[in-house]
Amino acid sequence: MRTKDESISPSGSTPARPTTRRTPPNAFSPEYLADARERDESLTASEAEFSGPWKLEPLPDHPGSVAVLRESESLAEGDVPEAVFREVENGVVCRVVLPLFEREPLFYLGEEPDPDGELPGGYPVIAVHGEEGPQVRGWLRRYNPKLVEALHTVEALNRAPAAHAAVLDAGGGGAFEQIGRALAALRKES
């Protein structure tokens, strides 16, 4: 039985492993960093850790593959990437999604059905909007936390225009043509 670290790629070969060297110099001592990691983390610590900015670097010895690293990191310096992808397009999407991933959720799903909502018996979808605080913004027929996570991701992407543009660009020319047609049709409807 293989462990997670011993997985086999779809082509049947063992995936390339980046070298694991000590991270390049840091303004903080290793002791300070170790102590900081042991303390209770603030609510925004994981969001800060994934905030980036992120970049892609070609993976040596694997043409077409890319590593996803922080802007301050480098494969040449021995940094271990957050992810590796065989296609640049997948790397771009990962680079864009990483800062959205650990962000404070924009939507929450109520644990109990709401008998009085606009969808009687539906589960309330709650959003936090600034000083207004949490408010019910909709209802789902079924308890579906993955759908609420997807709502969070798309809403967070809409709040980051450069990230949204990068995802669209990763779709390529054919996607742009279809997106343009869909936008024109939307404009016509409104």
What residues contact residue 64 under an 8 Å CB cut-off, 6+ apart?
86, 87, 88
- pTM of whole model > 0.85? no
What's the pLDDT score for residue 89?
Answer: 93
Quote the pLDDT of residue 39: 66
Full pLDDT tens readout for the chain, 190 residues = 444 444 444 444 444 555 444 555 666 677 766 776 666 555 455 566 777 789 999 999 999 999 999 999 999 999 999 999 999 999 999 998 888 877 788 899 999 999 998 998 999 999 987 788 899 999 999 999 999 999 998 888 888 888 888 888 888 777 777 888 888 888 888 7
Q: Which DSSP category does 5 fall into?
A: G
The pLDDT, as a whole number, for residue 14 is 46
Plot region of 133 (φ>0 → left; ψ -120 to 50 → alpha; else → beta): left
Instruction: Classify burial at 36, counting beta carbons within 10 Å of its beta carbon; exposed 0-12, middle 13-18, buried 19 or more.
Output: exposed
Domain spans of the chain?
A: 16-104
